[in-house]
Chains A and B, each alone.
Chain A
Amino acid sequence: MTAGAEAAGKIGPEGSPRRGVARGGRADLDLYLLLALPLAFLLVFRYVPLYGISIAFKDFNLFTGRDAFDSIVKSPWVGLANFRRVFGTPDFLQVLLNTVIISFYKIAFLFPIPILVAVLLNEVRIVPFKKAVQTVIYLPHFLSWVIVGGMFLGILGIDGVVNRAVTALGGRPVRFFMDASVFRGLLVFTSGWKETGWSTILYLAAITSIDTQLYEAAEMDGAGRFRQALHVTVPGILNIVVFLLILRIGNLLSADFDQILVLYNPLVYKVADVIPTYVYRIGLGQMDFVTGTAVGLFNSVVSFTFILSANFLSKRLVGRSIW
């Protein structure tokens, strides 16, 4: 942190007693009033429906009772039977592993890129060019995977542009979509292509919010553009970076169902079948609230644990956290 940052007197990540504790009472009341409406919303729209989680532990049938709510109440408890049905299958371990591995790859390779791009974009001085690039790179986010998948199949297919170049140079065509050793890389790459632009938006906003005084101070200290970027920009967005990283790690078990469903095929099941696609395939055509709720609950519990751990670790190691 440069001298400039200290001078600006930032609040800091964890409760520093700069605010008058003595005034805590009255000031707090004001704040709680502001929180009232959001909390009310939370209660009504998020906490009340949580009773639906009980479906995961019941032999649920929608028509058991007089109406849907009654059916939830009246359906009998079956403990962990529903969980065993999904998680007890021999394939599940591989599926779980796939989910974690693919997610990990995506974080490792794709997390830093939007940050880099945002920093680079920030360095662009020609405003129209900067704005144009900003607008264009987030376009792929709006295309559905059905379209994006079809597009990549055309480019990376056996007969596609890339492979034609490869064979022209004397190599053998790469079966991106059917080769299990390459497929996870395909997933990571296509995901990066689609979402990088969108992810830069948040970082750009963060960079814009950095006090320009800090840059001036650094320049006065003799820092060139590169060192300014390193010592002003990066620390300036560290809060957001840590925040997003914690959440991303928390979501380790979440997999891009749409992406994988569109791109995968039986030849790559063993490396790319993830929890949601697996559940979808074995329960095909059945309307199954129970399995969906059970798997969802499993994901929720694991995510929550991960987020708590990530937050704790982050507080210890970097001094920043969500709470």
Chain B
Amino acid sequence: MSKHRVMVLAAAAALLLPVAAECGGSREAPGAVSAAAEKAKPTLKYVIVNAAFDPAQDPAKKVFEERTGYKLEVFMLPAEKPLEKLNIDLASGTEYDILNISRSWYDNLVANKVLIPLDRLLDQYGANIKAAIGAETWLCTTQDGAIYGVPKRNPMDTVNDALGVRGDWLDEMGRRVPQTLEEFTAALKAFQDAKKVLPLTAVAASGQIPTISSAFGVSTYWKDVGGTLVPRMKQPGFQEYVAYVAGLYKAGLLDNEMPVNKSENTNEKLTSGKAAVAPYSWGSAASLRPGLQKNFPKARIDIIHPLKGAAGQQEISLNKGLDAVAGIPRMSKHAEDAVKYMNACLDPKNFKALTIGEEGVHHTADNGKYAPLFPKFNEFANGNYFMNGMIEREYGAYWQARVRKNDDMYATFAEMMKSAPVGRTDPTAFAPSLDKVSKYLNSLKQMENDYIIMLIAGGESLSGYDKFLQDWDKAGGAEMVKQVNDWYRTARK
């Protein structure tokens, strides 16, 4: 009797499998392409990086679909191991049409010859695309004479890193916001002696504090020194920078917990009044300033601009480069339509509507200054995921509307951009895919950061610096530098 029951259960389980799989299968989203619907525009399988919104319900996506006439079936990559997932999907033959991905993933796919060259398609269907994107930007996605992706560059070359200082405390001590390295050191000492607070705090992950390294002539990772591109650890001034910061650490002027600090720790130290100077940026201003205000209504955060060095050095890295790249994998069955979709997005008639909507409804335009109208403007919060490339001449202005989302954010942004004149861009910002860079840059950066921390806080002496550089070379650094410079020589002709 019970044996019979077991058999029935086992049989049921065996039956359940395919039936349930069917059930699951029939929950597929509508919009599958059938041969009969050839005349109608096919639904494009569109891949985006991980983001916190539901693409199926997103209002921006609907606007894109209306204006271009193409329906999008959006696949969002997971937050963990996204590149692995994407690669496995592609290798298994999944027919994605458009991949809107980051620069480094694009490099990976190009190296594996997964993306198709787009030149012919762009000539036929991509007039708007070609008009919208500048020659310099196209260089990034041109490999062996063919174009493999549609690049979207940063809306503006922005200054993204700064230090925030308690302006009210400076007032109390009768000091102005430090502009030179000397003033900075003196201010830190004053904070320690007079105010008895932690002068400067920093995070572990950065390895390099841009506001300070500016005084040593170090800003971007790669720098042209006498015609060759030199990575930061080998740049003149870098060792001096590290020695300086190590000195701050020993004197207790730099937070001794720096090696374990994450951004939430430094944020907390600033807003709770424990620290005088902390990493600060227009991205974090929106939550930090109110936080500080809440605890200390009279407090004020001022921006320390990149410091000037003894010999007049002053430079800060400008965030120039690519936001994203759109590529079409060779598995796609609708390459032409994919290009047509991208082309429609960059049609001047559509572009503004797709990015900041209609004037008077979603935004206001005041002499070329765009500002958002809430709450409708939020409909476009995620529009950038569906846009491939951008009309470079125009978008910078539109993007300002997004920064104006929040007053604190915008005020800080405007203030930080005042140092743009001393900004420098990384010469490799628009280099094409360089496989040695893709392969080694991240682990080398990690290695560098670790070593810098050991020099600053771990008691390592600078006498070992040359040995470190040798190890760095052996770990792939030498290969990387060579490839970068080979490209640089040809690019400058």
Contact = CB atoms under 8 A, between A and B. Distances in A.
A266 B453 contact: yes
Interface of B: 3, 6-7, 10, 13, 81, 83-84, 87-88, 90-93, 104, 108, 112-114, 204, 256-257, 259-260, 262, 264-265, 274, 439, 441-443, 445-446, 449-451, 453-454, 457-458
B112 A62 contact: yes
A33 interface: yes
7 contacts: A62-B91, A63-B113, A67-B92, A266-B454, A267-B453, A284-B442, A285-B104
A285 B104 CA distance: 9
Given A68-B88, A68-B91, A286-B442, A265 B112 contact: no
Contacts of B443: 281-286
A117 to B, nearest CB: 30
A34 interface: yes
A170 B112 CA distance: 62
A26 to B, nearest CB: 11
Interface in A153-190: 153, 157-159, 175, 177-178
B260 A177 contact: yes
Interface in A235-289: 265-267, 269, 281-287, 289
Nearest to B457: A267
B13 A153 contact: no
Contacts of A285: 104, 441-443
Interface string A6-40: 00000000000000000000000010011011000
Nearest to B112: A63
Interface of A: 30, 33-34, 36-37, 61-63, 67-68, 71, 150, 153, 157-159, 175, 177-178, 265-267, 269, 281-287, 289
B407 to A, nearest CB: 30
B275 to A, nearest CB: 11
A286 B264 contact: no
A153 B453 contact: no
Contacts of B259: 177-178, 265-267
B204 A265 contact: yes
B472 to A, nearest CB: 13
A182 to B, nearest CB: 13
B83 A287 contact: yes
B68 to A, nearest CB: 30
The residue among A67, A178, A266, A283 with the most chain B CB atoms within 10 A of its own CB is A266
A252 B90 CA distance: 37
B454 A281 contact: no
B112 A61 contact: yes
A287 B438 CA distance: 11
Given A62-B87, A283-B443, A287-B108, A178 B6 contact: no
B3 A30 contact: yes
A159 B273 CA distance: 14
Nearest to B444: A284
A12 to B, nearest CB: 27
B260 A265 contact: yes
B242 to A, nearest CB: 14
A30 B83 CA distance: 48
Given A36-B10, A284-B442, A267 B3 contact: no
B424 to A, nearest CB: 24
A265 B114 contact: no
Given A269-B450, A287-B108, A289-B84, A67 B91 contact: yes
B247 to A, nearest CB: 18
Contact of A62 (B88, B451, B457): B88
Contacts of B204: 265
A287 B84 contact: yes
A22 to B, nearest CB: 20
Contacts of B451: 266
B464 to A, nearest CB: 14
Contacts of B91: 62-63, 67-68, 71
B115 to A, nearest CB: 11
B222 to A, nearest CB: 17
A287 B262 CA distance: 25
A287 B87 contact: yes
Given A150-B264, A153-B265, A265-B453, A281 B112 contact: no
Contact of B93 (A62, A67, A150, A281): A67
A284 B274 CA distance: 34
Please name the 8 residue pairs, one residue from A and one from B, whose CB atoms are nearest each other, closest first.
Answer: A285-B442, A266-B450, A68-B91, A265-B259, A284-B442, A284-B443, A62-B91, A266-B453
B87 A37 contact: no
A36 to B, nearest CB: 7
A143 to B, nearest CB: 16
Contacts of B453: 265-267
A158 B257 contact: yes
A269 B87 CA distance: 32
A153 B442 contact: no
A40 B104 CA distance: 42
A46 B114 CA distance: 31
A282 B447 CA distance: 8
B442 A178 contact: no
A217 B84 CA distance: 61
A64 B247 CA distance: 53
Contacts of B450: 266, 269
Contacts of B93: 67
Contacts of B81: 287
Contact of B13 (A37, A61, A71): A37
Nearest to A173: B256
A158 B256 contact: yes
A286 B445 CA distance: 13
A289 B450 CA distance: 25
A30 B7 CA distance: 11
A289 B458 CA distance: 34
B78 to A, nearest CB: 13
A88 to B, nearest CB: 13
Given A30-B3, A36-B10, A284-B443, A153 B260 contact: yes
